[in-house]
Amino acid sequence: MKHFKIFFSLSLFCSLSGSLFAQAPAPPITAAIRLAVTDSLSASLLSTYVYKDTALKMSAYIHKRLKDGAYKGITNPAEFAQALNADVHYIYNDKHLAIQFDPRFENMLKDTSHNGDVERQRHDEQLAARQNYGFKKVEILNGNIGYVYFDRFFSVDTNSKSTVDAVFAVLKNVDALIFDLRQNGGGDPAMVQYICNYLFKDRTHLNDLYERRTNKTDQFWTTPAIYSSTFSSLPVYVLVSGRTFSGGEEFSYDLQSLNRVIIVGETTGGGAHPVRPIAISNGFIGNIPYARAVNPVTKKNWEAVGVKPDVQIAADSALDEATLLYFNYQIDHSKDQDKIKSLTWARDMLTGHMHAYRTDTARIKLYTGNYAGRIITLKNGSLYYTKQGIIKTKLIALSADTFKLEGMENIKLQFNKSEAGNATELVISTDDGFLGNYKRQ
């Protein structure tokens, strides 16, 4: 599987090469260069592109466009690359396929001495480390849910593996997992495999990659990890959006096909063809899709159609929705009364955030007063809580008579009323079981 690591690191380097190395302004391209680039791109597509019939159509179309004069007069190399991109995508909109003008990187691709390998590897490793190997946030959410936000699957090496291992070590005591891939643009399928190792107790077939040029298939199987027995039984939710792409989609699709996760969010971008950069000629390179994913369960992939969520909802609401799904399922199925009580509390707080309760100023004005030194005041349509001169805190309504302190999830305040509707008592409860009753003075 070594070549899969290579295609990722090189394509990543390619996208950054303009910022890593200053390049002199490109000279204008000539008709001879346009012909040479068109011929070379055609040959690369025919030899490498994942579908031979599509490659034939792309080749014929760009040659027709050249013959018809569509590229005549284009002297700016970036504009020529843009025109070629538009024309190959006219035949088929493969979102992985791209033509770029990058003379420096083309020379590195053509360098058979491997002198540039150390330089590329150093830049890749430095970038990966600076980005913490894609992991941007690891948290324990209410309800003891482990939350992991990562935006890229970096190549697998000693450092990236130790980072993944550390993430799961932090989460080893959680009751559920949420992977946030809403901004994940993809990466190395070997890293997809490595993370999935934690989610299966037994060796499991995740995905295949078929390469047309070699007529070979590489299989990807999980290998049980140190905490596999811990995480393999936990409910797992994956958050996706239209920006989830490539490796982010593979992670989602693999696990969805195995009924291992619940996908929440929006349909993903639809890119199932890994790429590798190829030197075209005259400073142009092509990121050419050379293989396609074949899922061992569905015998299909997510190309062009994306991964369809199990729960379709706006991406911005996906985290709250996934959390609520977990709370509801556990409350309905758990036999542990303490757990049910704890999760019901967390659910109340979450629904209060998701669906803000609209308060009536005239009604909540009746709650103002002194409750054994706990002062409730009204300002600009909102209630505020103060205890013995401690800083005033805004109350957020959970229902008509129940509130929480702004920014705090562990305290509720409920107002008991007389038959006439006047508040007579303030009941303060906490998520660890404390209950205090305070008469209005």
Q: For 127-154, how does the pLDDT look when each residue is reduced to its tens digit (9 = 90+)?
A: 999 999 999 999 999 999 999 999 999 9
**Mean pLDDT score, 376-388:** 94
- Total tally of structural domains belonging to the chain: 3
* Residue type at position 373: G
Q: Are strands 262-265 and 236-240 parallel, antiparallel or unpaired?
A: parallel
Q: Is 134 in the same domain as 272?
A: yes
In a domain, 281, yes or no: no
Give the list of residues 6+ apart from residue 102 with CB closer than 8 angstroms, or none.
Answer: 14, 17, 18, 23, 283, 284, 285
For 301, the 3-state DSSP assignment is coil
Residue 265 has pLDDT above 70, yes or no: yes
Domain at 374, CATH number: 2.40.128.50
Confidence of residue 277 (pLDDT cuts 50, 70, 90): very high
- What span, in angstroms and rounded, lies between the C-alpha atoms of 308 and 264? 9
In a domain, 270, yes or no: yes
Both tokens of 415, joined, read: 């107002």
Q: Are strands 284-289 and 176-180 parallel, antiparallel or unpaired?
A: unpaired
User: Which residue pairs from 122-126 have beta carbons closer than 8 angstroms and sit at least 24 positions apart in sequence?
Assistant: 123/13, 123/16, 123/20, 124/9, 124/12, 124/13, 124/155, 125/157, 125/159
In a domain, 112, yes or no: no
| Least reliable range by pLDDT among 13-27, 222-236, 363-377 | 13-27
**pLDDT value, residue 116:** 61
Domain at 294, CATH number: 3.90.226.10
Q: Are strands 216-221 and 311-312 parallel, antiparallel or unpaired?
A: unpaired
**pLDDT value, residue 24:** 64
- What span, in angstroms and rounded, lies between the C-alpha atoms of 325 and 415? 29
Q: Is 304 in the same domain as 180?
A: yes
In a domain, 6, yes or no: no
| Least reliable range by pLDDT among 6-10, 22-26, 54-58, 152-156 | 6-10
Which residue would you say has higher pLDDT here, 23 or 7?
23
- What span, in angstroms and rounded, lies between the C-alpha atoms of 103 and 399? 64
Domain housing 213: 126-276+290-330
Phi then psi for residue 114, to 5 deg, are: 65, 20
- What span, in angstroms and rounded, lies between the C-alpha atoms of 154 and 188? 6
Q: Is 258 in the same domain as 191?
A: yes
Residue 363 has pLDDT above 80, yes or no: yes
Q: Is 242 in the same domain as 153?
A: yes
- What span, in angstroms and rounded, lies between the C-alpha atoms of 113 and 119? 13
With contact defined as beta carbons under 8 Å apart, do 172 and 230 qualify? yes
Question: Which of the residue ranges 53-62, 108-117, 224-233 has the most confident prediction, judged by mean pLDDT?
Answer: 53-62
- What span, in angstroms and rounded, lies between the C-alpha atoms of 283 and 278? 11
Residue 15 has pLDDT above 50, yes or no: no
Which residue would you say has higher pLDDT here, 210 or 8?
210
With contact defined as beta carbons under 8 Å apart, do 156 and 194 qualify? yes
- DSSP code, position 166: H
Q: Is 165 in the same domain as 55?
A: no
Q: Is 190 in the same domain as 255?
A: yes
Q: Is 241 in the same domain as 142?
A: yes
In a domain, 16, yes or no: no
- What span, in angstroms and rounded, lies between the C-alpha atoms of 45 and 55? 5
Q: Are strands 236-240 and 176-180 parallel, antiparallel or unpaired?
A: parallel
**pLDDT value, residue 114:** 62
In a domain, 403, yes or no: yes
Edge to edge, the sheet with strand 275-281 lists 98-101, 284-289, 275-281
**pLDDT value, residue 118:** 74
With contact defined as beta carbons under 8 Å apart, do 384 and 394 qualify? yes
Q: Is 95 in the same domain as 134?
A: no
In a domain, 54, yes or no: yes
- pTM of the predicted structure, to 2 decimals: 0.90
Q: Is 163 in the same domain as 253?
A: yes
pLDDT tens profile 160-187:
999 999 999 999 999 999 999 999 999 9
Rounded (5°) CA angle 362-367-370? 140
Q: Is 398 in the same domain as 317?
A: no
> In the beta sheet, which residues pair with residue 179?
148, 238
Q: Is 163 in the same domain as 303?
A: yes
Q: Is 315 in the same domain as 419?
A: no
Residue 14 has pLDDT above 50, yes or no: no
Phi then psi for residue 395, to 5 deg, are: -100, 135
**Mean pLDDT score, 307-332:** 98
- Of 237, 135, 227, 232, the closest CA to residue 187 belongs to 135
**pLDDT value, residue 377:** 96
In a domain, 181, yes or no: yes
Residue 156 has pLDDT above 80, yes or no: yes
**Mean pLDDT score, 35-51:** 98
